[in-house]
Every structure is written in C-alpha cells, then in structure tokens.
Amino acid sequence: MFLHLGSPPKGPPPPFEAWSVRQLKILDKAIVLAWGRSMAAPLGRALLASGTEVQITAMLQDALTALLNSGALPGFSTSLYGPPIRGQEMEDYSGARLEKRPDLTITRLSARPVMNHNAMFYECKILGRGRTIDHYIAQGVARFEKGHYAWAMPHAGMIGYLVTDSNQNAKSTLVERWMHPTSPASCAPIAKVQEDGSAPTIAISTHARNFMLRNGELPGPIALRHLWLSERSTMAIPKKRSV
C-alpha cells in the first residue's frame, strides 16, 4: 500500500541543455591523458592487445578516477566532476526498459536539474580483432539514436579502442562507411561529419532521434563525439597559467 503524496509524478523534464564546448573538451583531454598513462604500462598495452571491452574500459575508468583525484588536469577536478561510473543501470527513453548500461558515465556537479540522465554518456568499442566499424555503429551509435542512453542529452560520446591500425581516422572511416555507394551503414548522420582539430582530435556526427520523451517533448538530434584511442594516443598536461 502506498501513501498519498500528492499529484502523480510527471515524466522527465524536457531535454537538458548542452554542456559548454570547454566542458566537453576537458573530458576529451581527460580521457586521452588517462589513456596515455595506462598505455605507458606493459599491462595497459597487453589489455589493449588481448583484453575484452569490459577489461579495457575498467582500466580507463581507473585511470580517469586517478586523474580526477590528482587534479593534474586543469578544469578536471573533484570540485567539478563526479567519478566516472562504469555500466550504471539506466532506464531508456520510454521507462519500460530499466537495465540499459552505458559503458561510462561522467557527471558534472553543477549540472541542473540534478538527475542521473543529466550526464555525459559513452559507449566504448574495440576496433580490430574481428570487431568492425559496422559493429561500432550497430552496437554503439544506434543505442544513442534509439534512445537507450543519453535520451535527455543533446550530446554523448563514442570511444573506439584501436587494437590493430593505430592510424585509423575516425572521421574518414565513418564517412566512408556511411557514404558507401551500394551498402551504406545504418544510423547515417543528418549533417556532414565534422572534425574538431584541437587536441585531441575528434569526429562529431549528428543523428536524428525519432522517439518522444515521456513528457511529450521531442529529444532533438544528438551529437556524438568520436574519440579513437590507440597504443600511441597520449597528450601532455597543459601548463597552468602563471598569475
């Protein structure tokens, strides 16, 4: 028996506002810096070569948590971001499926309203060892397009683990697959794939979402930030400006 607590709860709020470009870029940098530290160790390189997606993502999560606690990267600190969460159970846009698990979730402590869906969500996929770009799209990109994750956000991330071809470029590979003349991949973007050339370089694809939120609002398109990591991916910590 439930106590009467007033009017029934309403559905989720309208789609949340986008995080700033600076906030998103800080997360790009944090991921590459944490990844580079992992690849500096023999165990990290061994996991990339033969580990599962879960093992590799757990390694990245640990490295990101250590970086967050260290405060070594300006703008990425425990006063601004929560610890990265791996495999957190979330409901999909409809609320009918309660056990969707994005690979990584990072929250911003000042984000309002405070909800577990107001976050940056990432899907992480191996590229190589039999895992193709089609798998990356069908088992990663499609989950955002269909509203499994990040359905209340205008952006999310795709992380690719390059285990063979470390020079593979995200933008050119995705464009080639989506523009294939006879058998293009699913989830084609609704706009030209862009490339953010500032370090670290990422590709950005924008996808339509054709579902409706429980509050009757449309989610709008979603911009996916594609960050591909290889054994050689790294970056230096930006120097703090002197006062």
pLDDT in tens, 12-63: 566 889 999 999 999 999 999 999 999 999 999 999 999 999 999 999 999 9
Q: What angle do the packed helices 53-70 and 42-50 form, to 10 degrees?
A: 150
Tell me the pLDDT band of 236, cut-offs 50, 70 and 90: low
pTM of the model: 0.91
Q: How far apart (Å, rounded) are the C-alpha atoms in residues 221 and 153?
A: 9
Whether 135 and 187 have beta carbons less than 8 Å apart is answered as no
pLDDT tops 90 at residue 199:
no
Q: Which of 222, 75, 209, 90 lies closest to 154 in space, CA to CA? A: 222
Structure tokens at 148: 């499994």
Q: How many CA atoms lie within 13 A of 134 on its CB side?
A: 5
Domain ranges of the chain: 79-229
Q: How far apart (Å, rounded) are the C-alpha atoms in residues 23 and 110?
A: 11
Burial of residue 5 (number of CB atoms within 10 Å: 0-12, 13-18, 19+): exposed
pLDDT tops 80 at residue 240:
no
135, β-bridge pairs: none
